[in-house]
Amino acid sequence: MFDFATFTVLHWFFFVIGAVAFGFEAWALGDAVSRPATAFVAAGKLTKQKWLYILGAASAVGLTLVLVGAGAVSILGVAAFVAAAVYLTDVKPKVKDFPKNGRGGSSTSYGPYGPW
């Protein structure tokens, strides 16, 4: 562990960057949990289970590195951040249009030419 009293400005800078990166990774994991598994397959991406493994590992690495004070300077931290960034920029936009409850459509169904 580390002592906050001995932190310099540079230490605080890297600590904040690592904490923000961990928040980013946790956000990606939370979003992946809330999406239906069928959306990942329909979008042609890795399965939901694989993304949960990847993002769970990324979040665990991010939290561990923040707790030991090496969040922004470790290659593992960078890899964890990149995994979350790939999910949020590539996968999330493709699966967000699927309903989160796993059921199709809303109360008003729309066909190719408008409401039915």
* Interval 44-58: pLDDT, tens: 999 999 999 999 999
The residue with greater pLDDT, 94 or 105, is 94
Calculate what percentage of the chain has a pLDDT beyond 70. Answer: 78
Cα end-to-end span (Å), the chain: 62
Entry pTM: 0.78
Contact of 1 with 15, CB cutoff 8 Å: no
The residue with greater pLDDT, 18 or 108, is 18
The residue with greater pLDDT, 102 or 77, is 77
The residue with greater pLDDT, 64 or 105, is 64
